[in-house]
Structure 1
Amino acid sequence: MTKEITKISAMEIDPAVRQGGIVRAVLTPNTVGATAGFMGTVTVPAHQFVAEHYHPYSDEFLFLVDGALTIRIGDASTELKAGEAVMIPRGHRHRFENLSDVDAFGVFHICPLAPRPEIGHVETEPVPFPDAAPPRVGGAR
C-alpha cells in the first residue's frame, strides 16, 4: 500500500515569536498527522535569544545549520556551531542565545509528544514578546 507523500514548506508555517527567535513547527500532528513527535526550524537573530523553558514530556534535538548559539541547559552552557548538534533531555531548562553579529538557523525535533499540547512546554523566564500568540503545536510552537 502506498501512502501519498505530504510535503510542507517551512515558509508556509506562521512563525511563533513570543519566546524569542523565529520558530516554525513544520512537521506536526496538525500538519502531517505525526504521532511520535514534531520537527521544526528556529532562527535566532543576531544578539537575540529564545527564553528559557523546558519540556516535561519530551527530549529536544537541535542541529545548527548556520551561525552559532550559546546553549544553556540547566546551569551548564556551551557554544554550538554550524554542523553541530545537541540533545536536551526532557525536564531540563534550556535557553538559546545568539551572541554573534549574524543570524543562527537550526532544525529541531521534539519527541515524544506530550499527552496534550498545552502541557508540553513550560516557560521559566519572562518571554520577550508576551503579547504575541502563545506557542502551539501545529502551525507554530
Structure 2
Amino acid sequence: MSAGTESAARAIRTVSISDVPANRRRGGDIRTLLSPATVGATSGFLGTLTLRAGEVVTEHWHPYSEEFLFCVRGAIRLRLDGEERALAAGQGVLIPLGVRHRLMHSGDEEAFLVFQLSPLAPKPHLGHVDTEPLPGGGTS
C-alpha cells in the first residue's frame, strides 16, 4: 500500500444511523448517511428509510439521479409514474432518472429500506422535484 493510499484509508469515515438527523419533510424517517456533507462523497449519496404503517413518502422525481431502492425488512407499495407495484423484503428496484415515485406502507410490520442516488444534482436543492403536497402542508 502506498503512503497516499494509507492516508486516504485513515480519512474514511464510518457513519451510523444515529449520527444523522431524520428528515421527515416528505414523510417517513429518511436519513442520509453517506453524502457530500457527511463523508465528502462526490458521485452520489446513500441513506435509509423507515416507514411505519400508514406512512408514505410523497411523490417526487429526480431530474439528475437514478435511485436504487432495496427493501431490507417489511414490504411497501411503490407508485412509479402512476403504476403501482409491490416491493418486499429482499427485493430491490431501480427508479430511472425522471420517473415520478411515491412510497406507501400499509402493512403492520415497520418497513426498513436502503436507498442510493447517483449522480449528484449540481446543487442539493435541485435534486428533488415534488409533485404532490408535502405532509402537513410543508414545503420542500
State yes or no: 1:109 paired with 2:116: yes
Superposed CA deviations along residues 83-130 of structure 1, whole A, max 9, x for unmatched, are 000010011100000011121100000000001111111110011134
What is the 5 A alignment of 1:47-62? 47-62=54-69
Pick from 100, 103, 126 the counterpart of residue 119 of structure 1: 126
Q: Which has the higher contact order (CA 8 A, sep 6+)?
A: 1
State yes or no: 1:74 paired with 2:81: yes
CA–CA distance in structure 2, aligned partners of residues 129 and 13 of structure 1: 23
How far the C-alpha of 1:13 sits from its partner, in A, is 0.4
Report the structure, 1 or 2, having the larger helix content. 2
TM-score (norm 2): 0.91
Pick from 20, 32, 38 the counterpart of residue 25 of structure 1: 32
Q: Which of these two proteins has the greater Rg computed from alpha carbons?
A: 2
Corresponding letter in the other structure for 1:45? R
Task: State whether residues 68 and 79 of structure 1, in contact with CA within 8 Å, keep that contact through their aligned partners in structure 2.
Answer: yes
Q: CA RMSD for the aligned pairs?
A: 1.2
CA–CA distance in structure 1, aligned partners of residues 33 and 137 of structure 2: 22
Superposed CA deviations along residues 52-89 of structure 1, whole A, max 9, x for unmatched, are 00000000000000000001110211110000000100
Report the identity percentage.
Answer: 46
CA–CA distance in structure 2, aligned partners of residues 129 and 82 of structure 1: 29
Aligned in 2, Cα 1:53/1:122: closer, same or farther, shift over 3 Å?
same
Task: State whether residues 46 and 99 of structure 1, in contact with CA within 8 Å, keep that contact through their aligned partners in structure 2.
Answer: yes
How far the C-alpha of 1:131 sits from its partner, in A, is 4.4
SS in structure 2 at match of 1:11: helix
CA–CA distance in structure 2, aligned partners of residues 7 and 33 of structure 1: 12
The answer for the alignment partner of 1:139 in structure 2 is: none
Pick from 12, 15, 23 the counterpart of residue 19 of structure 2: 12
How far the C-alpha of 1:10 sits from its partner, in A, is 1.2
TM-score (norm 1): 0.90
Aligned residues: 133
Stretches (4+) displaced over 4 A: none
Where do 5+ consecutive residues of structure 2 fail to align?
A: none
CA–CA distance in structure 2, aligned partners of residues 55 and 130 of structure 1: 21
